[in-house]
Amino acid sequence: MNIPNHVAIILDGNGRWAKAKGMPRNYGHVQGAKTVEQICEDAWNLGIHYLTVYAFSTENWNRPKDEVSALMTLLRNYMKSCLKRATQNNMCVRVIGDKTGLDDDIRKRIAELEEATKDNTGLHFQIADEIRRAVTNLAEQVQAGTLQPEEITEEKISAALDTAGIPEPDLLIRTCNELRISNFLLWQLAYTEFYFTPVAWPDFSKAELEKAIEAYNHRDRRYGLVKEE
């Protein structure tokens, strides 16, 4: 089976999964974080080299304050456990995107995690959101006279993104039957194969990841169609 080099995942359905079980939404986020840890290990064992997840979009800041607060507490705790797991599993971790809305202690933990794992040679794990800053950066270069508008190429745009140096995703997975990409890696997903599943993120497993990879193998990467039998 052809294993994609880079898989991107939009983690959806934590709150709905919890509600279906009669539990608060935050319970779903906690279980979803545990799923992230397991899928990182499963992805590497399957031969995937890059895994990028969309865990918190800018729209999430509009959620109820208590839920946002609980998510930030979860993120603090996750940074601790992620460092331990990354060290054990030789993972290189990057948190890419706009971190200005995060508290100072969280940004400090992110920096410590990135520094501690930057030379690891196992799975490259990214937690992501972005694109506006890349455009702003290029605009500032044009304004300063160091870049001419006609010099803005696809390569320069890619180089200005937080994902510079990371191969573009081969496969995007979105859970819980949502059929959109929600401002996630808009530039990088131009030639990515999409896979949507009704499974909520806390229930996503290695078996579900293998289903997505199997579907990926039935796509014709040259023409973007389902392969003829």
* Residue of 12, 42, 129, 162 marked catalytic: 12
Indicate the residue type of 21: K
Report the candidate in 134, 186, 172 with the shortest Cα–Cα distance to residue 9: 172
Q: Catalytic: 170?
A: no
Alpha-carbon distance values, 6 to 13, 53, 104, 111, 142 (Å):
22, 11, 31, 23, 32
The answer to whether 20 and 182 have CB atoms below 8 angstroms apart is no
Catalytic residue among 5, 26, 42, 60: 60
Active-site annotation holds for 12: yes
Identify the helix (H) or strand (E) that includes residue 170.
Answer: none
Catalytic residues: 12, 60
